[in-house]
Amino acid sequence: MNNTLPASSEILIVDDDPSVVMSLYQVMSDIGRVRFAETAEQTFSMISEKHPDLILLDIELPDANGLDVCTKLKAMPSTQDIPVLVITSHADVGFEESVFEVGAGDYIHKPLNPRVLAARAKTHLAYYHALKLLDKQARTDQLTKLANRWVFDDQLTSELGRANRQKNPISLIMLDIDNFKAFNDQFGHIEGDKCLQAVSTVFSDAILRSGDLVARYGGEEFAVLLPETDALGVQKVAERIRANVEALAIPHADDATFPVVTVSVGCCTSATGSVIDAASALQIADQALYQSKHEGKNCVNF
């Protein structure tokens, strides 16, 4: 693993003793950007504002026990991976065990040894940054930088569950580039890759709400998830995407029938109050996409 740290590591020091805070700051300010919290309440409010990459946590806080703070952080999906380094003057074995039992990554004894503290902090930061990078790579399609199929299937399942529970509509779009084999055959795979990237930009640009998701579903197949979107809404988005891909005017090999690159589109909507699972939703959208291919491509079907 590369041990170089990004310059932007965010470190949160949680301690109510000004002299300890000062010594921690002297060490940590060389490693990253440091923020401070004195209480558990402040800690959670600062973390919700911005997630740190490392937390140095005192055990005796004015309003809570540090171990309970750590337990809470480790129970929340959004914070559970952030490494926690417990700062303690307790030295007994039972205490050490309880530090690890609540999910802390390590502990440091007071009085502090600055070099040991710096070394441990850097090790945890390096692992955390590597973990975040791997997580991002595991979710991203490298060619188009869109989410990959794994992310899409995961989110489709959870968003359908939510839509079903809250009786909200939800829509799904499947898209497939028309005659892409011929495009590759004519221009080569490198141009084919560039075409996939250009078309992907249209998909991303067509998505306006923060909860929407675009993914590369397979080779030249893409999927869009639109929570809280009904049949009328998905129809507008699908048609906008189809028209915008055509408007890119990427010349296609087969000039006579298909002068430019286009996409065929299939949509599925789960209306308010209806219940549908991920496999059925995908199958319906896929069937609609097949229908678009059947009707001559470059069109939208439901």
The catalytic site residues sit at: 220
Footprint of Mg ion on this chain (CB under 5 A)? 16, 58, 60, 176-177, 180, 220-221
State the Cα–Cα distance between residues 185 and 187, nearest whole angstrom.
6
Strands 60-61 and 170-177: unpaired
> What does the DSSP 8-state code read for residue 17?
-
What burial class does residue 228 get, using C-beta atoms within 10 Å of its C-beta: 0-12 exposed, 13-18 middle, 19+ buried? Answer: middle
* Residues between 3 and 42 with contacts to ligand GH3, criterion CB under 6 A: none
Which of 110, 39, 53, 60 has its CA nearest to residue 84? 53
Output the smallest distance, CB 7 to Mg ion, in A. Answer: 30
Q: For Cα atoms 207, 178, 252, give the angle at the middle one, nearest 5 degrees.
A: 105
- How many CB atoms are located within 10 Å of the residue 189 CB? 10
Q: Applying CB under 6 A, which of residues 128, 180, 217, 222 lies at the interface with ligand GH3?
A: 180
Whole-number minimum distance, CB 300 to ligand GH3, in Å? 15
Residues 279-298, interacting with ligand GH3 (CB under 6 A): 293, 297
Residue closer to ligand GH3 (CB basis): 166 or 283: 283
Assigned token pair, 127: 């692992």
Taking CB under 6 A as the rule, does residue 184 contact ligand GH3?
Answer: yes
293 binds, options ligand GH3, Mg ion, none, Cβ within 5 to 8 A by partner type: ligand GH3
User: Judged by CB, which is closer to ligand GH3: 276, or 285?
Assistant: 285
- Rounded to a whole number of angstroms, the minimum distance from the CB of residue 184 to ligand GH3 is 5
CA distance 111 to 117: 11
Which of 63, 68, 193, 255 contacts ligand GH3 by CB under 6 A? 193
Size of the site for ligand GH3 (CB under 6 A): 17
Q: How far apart are the first and last CA of the chain?
A: 49
58 binds, among Mg ion, ligand GH3, none (CB under 5 to 8 A by kind): Mg ion
Can you give 54-113 as a three-state secondary structure string? Answer: EEEEECEECCEEHHHHHHHHHHCCCCCCCCEEEEECCCCHHHHHHHHHCCCCEEEECCCC
Interface residue with ligand GH3 among 15, 38, 53, 178 (CB under 6 A) is: 178
Q: Which of the residues 228 through 267 are near ligand GH3 (CB under 6 A)? A: none
Interface with ligand GH3 (CB under 6 A): 143, 176-182, 184, 189, 192-193, 196, 219-220, 293, 297
